[in-house]
Amino acid sequence: MSRARVAVLVSGSGSNLQALIDAARTPDHPAELAVVVSNVSGAFALERARQAGLPTEVVSHRDFSERAVYDAELVRRLRAHAVEWVCLAGFMRLLGPTFLQAFPMRVLNVHPALLPAFPGMHAPRQALEAGVKLTGCTVHFVDEGADTGPIIAQAAVEVLDTDDVEALATRIQAQEHRLYPQALALAVSGRLRLEGRRVLSA
């Protein structure tokens, strides 16, 4: 079986990267990780990638004066690894049209909320402050907005009366680690289609 070549873009510790690594090691998963790229040279996610025997690249956004030029360099690096799909896993940069047009509807992200609720930073804190009883996580296609792309999959997490931000975030993250590899498998297998903003089973 031919497996889709996937790049993972990271900025931090890489716990979702680890979930993708673990999933890709199973023989029936349709994706293989081709390269891990970070904009932060000291990101622990790079160490996770090295321990897994994966190629790594560091492309610091600070070395580029314009986002389009930075995005073009990212595309060049990924093309060198024959990448077909891209997963964002705690990548703290917005990607512009230069990048997204290179991988049309082939860039995925996971977000710690039930989008469209609580986009952007600090979603678990936003959920607690809003007093919601349910939150969760979302895997979505990436567009030019911030957490606004079509939704592939979601998982709900109950907000407990005893929750603080850390406790809630930990339970959400556990669902992210389960959901993200599943959503990636659906996407790269060609089992999804887009109608308007709805992502449906093909």
- Positions annotated as catalytic residues are 111
**Torsion-angle region of 137 (φ positive above 0: left; ψ -120 to 50: alpha; else: beta):** beta
Q: Which two tokens stand for residue 169?
A: 């975030």
Pairwise CA distance, residues 90 & 41, whole Å: 14
Angle, helices 44-51 vs 15-24, to 10°: value is: 20
Pairwise CA distance, residues 54 & 50, whole Å: 6
* Longest CA span, the chain: 49
Q: Beta strand pairing status for 151-158 and 134-141?
A: antiparallel
Identify the DSSP state of 164: -
